[in-house]
């Protein structure tokens, strides 16, 4: 199984996701850190990703090659993360045949309704548990 974790800015959310994935899933699961920038990728690599790459082309090339894509709802939103997530990245992620498991975090001018407002660590636990069940 190949899982891509996509994050931007400082990579903090992706870092937490990868730490929990590493504790919950077998070592045979390949985790790929895809950062919108090098800082985000470095944080996710430090958390235990097997491989990492940064930038638009890395995300566009790798999105169709994985089984799962994890991140926030912003990764399928053009110009999210203060503009770091380009329209081309959002399109590649949304169009990927991979199953997307996204955290429902509200962001600039987008509010996701009908979701529980739980702390981020609880949402990440739910995300990881869903993958464990697969």
Read off the pLDDT of each residue in 9-19 and give the average, rounded to a whole number.
94
Least confident of 7-11, 18-22, 112-116: 112-116
User: Is it the case that residue 70 has pLDDT exceeding 90?
Assistant: yes
Is the domain defined by 2-133 classed in CATH 3.40.50?
yes
pLDDT given for residue 7 in this prediction: 94
Cβ distance 52 to 44 under 8 Å?
A: yes
For 14, counting Cβ atoms within 10 Å of its Cβ (0-12 exposed, 13-18 middle, 19+ buried), the class is buried
Residue 34 pairs with which residues in a beta bridge? 6, 53
Domain ranges of the chain: 2-133
Average pLDDT in the 40-68 region?
98
pLDDT at 34: 98
The mean pLDDT of the chain is 92
Phi, psi of 71 (to 5 degrees): 170, -160
What is the per-residue pLDDT for 132? 85
Does 22 score more than 80 pLDDT? yes
Angle between helices 120-133 and 12-24 (to 10 degrees): 40
Predicted pLDDT at 114 = 66
Burial label, 45 (beta-carbon count in 10 A; 0-12, 13-18, 19+): buried
Q: Percent of the chain at pLDDT above 90?
A: 70
Residue 55 is given by DSSP the state S
pLDDT in tens, 77-124: 999 888 899 999 999 999 999 999 998 877 767 777 767 778 888 888
């Amino acid at each position: 199984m190949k899982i891509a974790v996509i994050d931007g800015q400082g990579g903090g959310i992706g870092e937490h996701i990868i730490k929990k994935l590493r504790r919950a899933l077998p070592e045979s699961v390949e985790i790929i850190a895809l950062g919108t920038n090098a800082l985000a990728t470095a944080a996710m690599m430090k958390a235990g990703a097997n491989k990492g790459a940064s930038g638009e082309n890395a995300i566009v090339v790798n999105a169709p090659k994985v089984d799962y894509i994890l991140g926030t709802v912003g990764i399928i939103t053009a110009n999210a993360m203060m503009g770091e997530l380009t329209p081309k990245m959002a399109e590649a992620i949304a169009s990927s045949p991979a199953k997307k498991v996204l955290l429902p975090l509200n962001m600039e001018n987008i509010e996701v309704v009908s979701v529980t407002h739980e702390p981020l660590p609880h949402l990440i636990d739910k995300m990881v548990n869903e993958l464990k069940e697969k």
